Amino acid sequence: MSFSQVKDQKIALQLLRGIVRQNRVPSGLLFWGPNGVGKRMTAFEFAKAVNCNDSEDDACDTCLSCRKTINGNHADIMVIKPAGKMRMIKVDVIEEVVETAMFRPVEGGMRLVLIEDAERMNLGAQNHFLKTLEEPPSQTAFVLLTEWPRRLLPTIRSRCQSVRFGTLRFETVVEMMREKGSIAEDQLHAIAALSQGSFTRACDLQKSERRTIALDIVQRLAQGEDPLLLSEEFAVYIQHTSKAIESAVMSEAKQEMAQDPDGEAKLDKDDIAAQVTGLVRGELFEFLVLFDAWYRDELIYDLSKTRQLIYNRDCLNKLKTEIDVEKHAAKIGALVDAWKYIERNLKPARIFRDLFFTLAS
Ligand SMILES: [Zn+2]
């Protein structure tokens, strides 16, 4: 493994190779971009390359430092992640790592602290981290990884070297999914096209039942099933999903409390509710993306008569032909509206009932 293993991130790699070559590593680097496009892998390769003894702007993978990093026992490469499903990075974690950074790196090179999902640092943690960036310990670099840079304090963002990551190319997702295991070619195509350039999303689409449910709904609507009944069925599904999400979040929170040595942690009901709301909302958005792709496909298939631009290529025979373009445009418009209503926190049951009526027309 080396930088050459990272796919499709040419600009980010150019920048990072330059930093390694000149041996001028900033105290803070902010790796930002969508999930599932290679940020973590690149950060790991970067940490390795910075401390590599044998390569100019990459990791050789054979020197002692590289081997230690690969085996996960390089004393100066540290990884911080949010803990539990509450998924916060608390101030004491940052304090601890900053304290360690006051000492010289053990291996004599540079200390690299990778902070995954950095936006999960709570405000206390962010403030403490900001102070650290203002007077950074020498021979130490912090690499923040995030999909949501705007959830970090602007003062943190401005003190970090920005390294932007883009989405993966369609062909790359196809290739990675193919490597992962056997999957029918048309389904592979559909999943890669719907993944929006994220490998994580592609994997999620493959293993969750979401797509099957979404496809079932659009087809039953097209066959003339009552949108009211369908929306009630969907509301029950969403209720079950919400309950499952809630109990997962609760049990993680309780587990975290039980592990807290000082017993100071409290079950923060507001925080839990916010977590659950966010996760359920994410689930609803995923459905909108799938519905949107379906009606978009029907529209494009009808106009182009070729399968070239179709996302749901594995369901080609189920796409409606001879469609009413105006009605389809209204359906896509209704999906955009539903998106807004979910953002405004309106009741999902109501949003999807109205939506299904438009989609049925
Ligand atoms: Zn090396």
Domain boundaries, the chain: 3-164, 169-207, 209-360
Q: What is the mean pLDDT of residues 276-293?
A: 92
Ligand 1 centroid from CA 224, angstroms? 63
pLDDT bracket for residue 55 (50, 70, 90): confident
Ligand 1 centroid from CA 57, angstroms? 10
Dihedral angle sign, alpha carbons of residues 29, 30, 33, 39:
positive
Distance CA 49, CA 168 (A): 23
Task: Provide the whole-model pTM.
Answer: 0.80
Query: For residue range 297-343, what is the model confidence (pLDDT) as tens digits?
Result: 999 999 888 888 899 999 988 988 888 989 999 999 999 999 999 99
Ligand 1 centroid from CA 70, angstroms? 10
Dihedral angle sign, alpha carbons of residues 49, 51, 52, 56:
positive
Query: For residue range 241-269, what is the model confidence (pLDDT) as tens digits?
Result: 999 999 988 887 787 777 665 655 566 77
Q: Which pLDDT value is given to residue 184?
A: 86
Ligand 1 centroid from CA 109, angstroms? 12
Ligand 1 centroid from CA 61, angstroms? 5
249: its two tokens: 């979040």
* Higher per-residue pLDDT: 190 or 55: 190
Q: What is the DSSP letter of 137?
A: P
Q: Which pLDDT value is given to residue 266?
A: 65
Distance CA 2, CA 42 (A): 9
The top-level CATH class assigned to 3-164 is alpha beta
Ligand 1 centroid from CA 60, angstroms? 4
Main-chain dihedrals φ then ψ at residue 166, nearest 5 degrees? -100, 180
Distance CA 291, CA 182 (A): 26
Q: What is the mean pLDDT of residues 187-191?
A: 92
Distance CA 133, CA 114 (A): 14
Least Cα distance to 321 among 307, 334, 333 occurs for 307
> What percentage of the chain carries pLDDT values higher than 90?
70
pLDDT bracket for residue 95 (50, 70, 90): very high
N-to-C CA span, the chain: 53
Least Cα distance to 140 among 110, 160, 162 occurs for 110
